[in-house]
Amino acid sequence: MADKADIKAEAERLFAAFQDAGAAPVETALLQPAEVLLDLYGEDIRARAYVTSDGVLGEQMLRPDFTVPIVQAHMQDGAEPARYTYMGAVFRQQQAGTGRANEYMQVGYEVFDRTNPAEADAEVFALFDRTLSGRGLQASTGDIGILIAAVQGLETSPRRRAALLRHIWRPKRFRALLDRFAGRGPAPEGRAELVDALAGLDLGQIVQGAGPEIGLRSAHEVVARLDALRMDADVPAIPGAQIDAVLALLDIAEPVETAAETLNEVAAQLPSIKNAVTNFQARLDALKTHAVDLSWVTYEGAYGRTSMEYYDGFVFGFAQNGAAPVASGGRYDALTRVLGQGREIPAVGGVIRPAQLLEAGL
Amino acid sequence: MSVKLGVPSKGRLMEDTFAWFAKRGVTLARTGSDREYAGAVSGIDGVELVLLSAGEIPRELVAGRIDLGVTGTDLVREKIPLWDEKVEPLAEMGFGFADLILAVPRFWADVSSLDDLDAVAAAFRAEHGFRLRIATKYHRLVREHLQAAGVADYQLVDSQGATEGTIKNLTAEAIADITTTGATLEANHLKILSGEPILRSQATLFASKTSNMDQAVLTKLKAKLGL
C-alpha cells in the first residue's frame, strides 16, 4: 500500500492536470442523504456503503462516489457547458478477505455538454489517456448504448424488452431471460399452470377468491399483471438469429479499431443498433483527432455491465493486467434525467484512483 | 483451563439443549435461583457452562470469549461475515428447526416465485414511485439471496418483530422471516414463495475458530458426545 502522503501528492498532481484541462474545481459533502443513493442504486449500495443515521436528517451515507452529488449540484445551478474536477475520499465497504481499501482517494473529471457527445467522450478518454500515459496500463472500452439499442430492436413484446433492458447490468439474469424469451430456456416454475388455470375466468374473481386485499399493492395491480401474464404466454419466441446477434455483441473483445467492422456485421442482423454503431464510429474518429494511439485500446462488448448501473453509453477503464482498475468512467445521460427532475443533460466523466496508480508504478 | 460452552439462557432452546447433552451423558443445569444465570456441568471435567442470550452467542464465539456455543444456523450466517472462517459447526442437534422464507399476500395470485417477485417489484416501483419494501431482520441473508437471484427494485426495511403484520400496516409489501409451521403467516393472509427457502436453520453446536481452546478437553467432550 502506497504511503498516504504520496497518494495525496499524486492526487494533487492529477487535480492540477484536470484544472489545466479546463475543469472548475468543486467540493461535495462527505455525508450524503442515503435516500437518493438507495433509490438510485438499490439495496446493493447499502451492502457497500457506510450508512449512519441522524436524528433530524435521517439516514446519511458516507460518500460512496462523487458522480451523484456532482450531478445534483450541476442540475441545481450549473451553467452549460460545464467541466468539473474534484478530489477527495470515497468510502466503500469491501468484502471481507479482499484486502481492498475501504477509504480511498478519487480524482475525477466530468463534462456536461450537449453539443457533441462523441467529441465529449473522446475529450474525456484522451485526457485520461494523456494523464496516464507511460504507466503500462491497458485501456478497455465498451458501449452500453449499443447493448440498449440491441435490446430495443428485438422482435418481441414491449414488456419483454423492458424486462431485458432492466437487467442489462445483471449478466446472469439477463442471459436467463434472453434464453427464456428465445424459447431456449425454461419458463418460470408454475407459470404454464397458472396461465392454464386462468383460461376463460374472470381475473377479478380469482384475485378476490385468493385472499383478502392487504397492503399497498392493490387487487387492481394483481389483475393487471395476471392479464399481462396471460397475454405474455402467446408472445412468439424471439428469432434465434437476433438472440445470436446479441450474444455475439457481448462476446466481442478485440482492438477498438477493428471492432467497427465486427459491429457492422452484427448490425446486419440487428438493424436497431445502426445509430449506436454510427455514434461509436463518430467517437472513434474524434479519438483520432485527439491523437489517441488506439492500437493498444480494446473494445469489449460486455464492458461496464457489472459496474453500478448508471452508465448508458461509452464506458472505459485503465488497468494493469487484470488488477483493479486504476481509472474508470463513462457516459451517464440517464442519471442526469433521474436527478434533474424533468431536466437532463448529456454527461460523461471518469475517476482516477491515485493509490492504484502509484501501485501500478512507472 | 476449561472449555466454555455457551447455551441459550432460557426457554425451549435451553431445555432442548440440556436434553441433547443429557442423552449423551453430559448433564447441564442451571444453579441458584430461577433468575440467576449460573450453570453447572457434570459427566465431564473441564467444561464450564455459560448461559447467554441466543442472539449473543454468535458474537461471543467470534470474539473467542466462549469456545463452544449452541445457536441457530440463521443467526450465525446473518451475524457473522465469512462465518465459516470464524466458527465450525460440530453437530446439528435436531431441534429448533426454522426456515427463513419470503412471503407475500395470499391474494397476489400472480406471484409464486422469485421471478414473479422481481417483475412485481419493477411494476410496483413504476406505479408507486418507490421500491417494493421487504420487511425483515435478516438483512444480509435476504440481500444475498435476492442478489443471487437477480431481483431488483426492492428495498429492505428493518423489522425486529411482528413482521407478518407489516404488510397490513402498509409499512412493507412483502416479508422475509423465520417460520416453523407457517401458522402465523396463514393467519396474516400471507403465502410463502415456492422453491427452496433462503435458509433451513436448526440449533447447532458450533466451535469457535478464534478462541484458545483446551484441545484435550475438546477431544474428550467430542468423544463423549459421539462427534
Pair (A257, A268) in one structural domain: yes
Pairing of strands B3-8, B47-52: parallel
Pair (A314, A244) in one structural domain: yes
Residue A79 has pLDDT above 90, yes or no: no
pLDDT for position B34 = 66
pLDDT for position A99 = 76
Q: What is the pLDDT of residues B174-183, one digit of tens each?
A: 999 999 888 9
At residue B89 the predicted structure's pLDDT band, cuts being 50, 70 and 90, is very high
Mutate to test the interface with B, among A36, A43, A177, A341 (most CBs of B within 10 A): A43
Contact assignment for A212 to B154 by CB distance below 8 Å:
no
H/E stretch holding B157 reads strand B154-158
pLDDT for position B26 = 95
Q: What is the pLDDT of residues A140-163, one digit of tens each?
A: 999 999 999 999 999 999 999 999
Chain B: residue whose CA lies nearest to A213? B107
Residue A304, domain CATH: 3.30.930.10
Contact assignment for A42 to B156 by CB distance below 8 Å:
no
Q: What is the pLDDT of residues B142-171, one digit of tens each?
A: 999 999 999 999 999 999 999 999 999 999
Residue B209 has pLDDT above 60, yes or no: yes
pLDDT for position A98 = 74
Cell numbers given for A25? 474545481
Mean pLDDT for chain B overall: 93
Pair (A311, A270) in one structural domain: yes
A40, part of any domain: no
Handedness of CA A306, A311, A313, A314 (dihedral sign): negative
> Which residue blocks in A86-170 are alpha helix, DSSP H?
117-131, 144-152, 158-166
The C-alpha atoms of residue B54 and residue B70 are separated, in whole angstroms, by 8
Contact assignment for A214 to B167 by CB distance below 8 Å:
yes
Pair (A307, A196) in one structural domain: no
At residue B54 the predicted structure's pLDDT band, cuts being 50, 70 and 90, is confident
Contact assignment for A213 to B156 by CB distance below 8 Å:
no
Q: What is the pLDDT of residues A193-241, one digit of tens each?
A: 999 999 889 999 999 999 999 999 999 999 999 999 999 999 999 999 9
pLDDT for position B35 = 66
C-beta of residue A223 within 8 angstroms of C-beta of residue A207: yes
Pair (A280, A312) in one structural domain: yes
pLDDT for position A361 = 66
A268, part of any domain: yes
A156, part of any domain: yes
A21, part of any domain: no
Contact assignment for A212 to B107 by CB distance below 8 Å:
yes
Residue A114 has pLDDT above 60, yes or no: yes
The C-alpha atoms of residue A26 and residue A46 are separated, in whole angstroms, by 26
**Mean pLDDT, range B25-40, rounded to an integer:** 82
Pair (A225, A278) in one structural domain: no
Minimum distance, in Å, between the CA of residue B186 and any CA atom of chain A: 10
**Mean pLDDT, range A182-190, rounded to an integer:** 90
Cell numbers given for B137? 431482520
A167, part of any domain: yes
Cell numbers given for A84? 468539473
Name the maximum alpha-carbon separation found in chain B: 65
* Among A44, A189, A214, beta carbon nearest to B195: A189
Residue A362 has pLDDT above 60, yes or no: no
Same fold? B3-97+202-225, B98-200: yes
pLDDT for position A45 = 84
CA of residue B84 relative to chain centroid, distance: 15
Cell numbers given for A131? 494523464
At residue A94 the predicted structure's pLDDT band, cuts being 50, 70 and 90, is confident
At residue A63 the predicted structure's pLDDT band, cuts being 50, 70 and 90, is very high
Pairing of strands A327-331, B199-201: unpaired
Contact assignment for B150 to A172 by CB distance below 8 Å:
yes
Q: Could you list the beta-strand ranges (E) of chain A.
A: 24-25, 31-33, 51-54, 58-62, 82-91, 103-112, 138-143, 253-255, 297-300, 314-319, 327-331, 347-352
* Among A44, A96, A226, beta carbon nearest to B110: A226
A148, part of any domain: yes
CA of residue A121 relative to chain centroid, distance: 15
Residue A308 has pLDDT above 70, yes or no: no
pLDDT for position A1 = 61
Q: How crowded is residue A98: how many other Cβ atoms within 10 Å of its Cβ?
A: 8
A341, part of any domain: no
pLDDT for position B215 = 93
Q: Which amino acid is at A291?
A: A
Q: What is the CATH number of domain B3-97+202-225?
A: 3.40.190.10
Pairing of strands A103-112, B47-52: unpaired
User: Which chain B residues are Cβ-neighbours of A206 within 8 angstroms?
Assistant: 109
Minimum distance, in Å, between the CA of residue A226 and any CA atom of chain B: 6
Contact assignment for B168 to A211 by CB distance below 8 Å:
no
Pair (A255, A150) in one structural domain: yes
Mutate to test the interface with A, among B77, B78, B86, B108 (most CBs of A within 10 A): B108
**Mean pLDDT, range A125-151, rounded to an integer:** 95
The domain of A290 spans 138-171+239-319
Using alpha carbons, select from B223, B220, B161, B197 the residue that is nearest to residue B73.
B197
Pair (A228, A246) in one structural domain: no
**Mean pLDDT, range B207-215, rounded to an integer:** 93
Using alpha carbons, select from B42, B16, B178, B3 the residue that is nearest to residue B95.
B16
User: Which chain B residues are Cβ-neighbours of A47 within 8 angstroms?
Assistant: 140, 143
Minimum distance, in Å, between the CA of residue B170 and any CA atom of chain A: 5
Q: What is the pLDDT of residues A230-286, one digit of tens each?
A: 999 999 999 999 999 999 999 999 999 999 999 999 999 999 999 999 999 999 999
pLDDT for position A342 = 82
Q: Could you list the beta-strand ranges (E) of B163-226.
A: 174-179, 190-192, 199-201, 203-208
The radius of gyration of chain B from alpha carbons, rounded to an integer in Å, stands at 20
Using alpha carbons, select from A114, A115, A27, A37 the residue that is nearest to residue A73.
A27
Contact assignment for A44 to B130 by CB distance below 8 Å:
no
Q: How crowded is residue A41: how many other Cβ atoms within 10 Å of its Cβ?
A: 18
Look up the ipTM and state it: 0.89
A46, part of any domain: no
Q: What is the pLDDT of residues A9-62, one digit of tens each?
A: 999 999 999 999 999 999 999 999 998 888 888 888 888 899 998 889 888 999
Residues of chain A whose beta carbon is less than 8 angstroms from a beta carbon of chain B are 38-39, 42-44, 46-47, 96-97, 162-163, 166-167, 170, 172-173, 176, 188-190, 194, 206-208, 210-217, 219, 221-222, 224-226, 229
Pair (A268, A301) in one structural domain: yes
Mean pLDDT for chain A overall: 92
Domain ranges of chain B: 3-97+202-225, 98-200
Contact assignment for A222 to B108 by CB distance below 8 Å:
yes
Contact assignment for B107 to A208 by CB distance below 8 Å:
yes
Contact assignment for A226 to B119 by CB distance below 8 Å:
no
- What is the helix, strand, coil percentage profile of chain B, to 5? 35, 30, 35
* Number of separate domains in chain A: 2
Pair (A227, A250) in one structural domain: no
Is residue A165 packed enough to be buried (19+ CB in 10 Å), middle (13-18) or exposed (0-12)?
A: middle
pLDDT for position B81 = 84
Q: Which amino acid is at B62?
A: V
Minimum distance, in Å, between the CA of residue B153 and any CA atom of chain A: 6
pLDDT for position A152 = 97
Percent of chain A with pLDDT over 70: 98
Q: Which amino acid is at A93?
A: Q
Q: What is the CATH number of domain B98-200?
A: 3.40.190.10
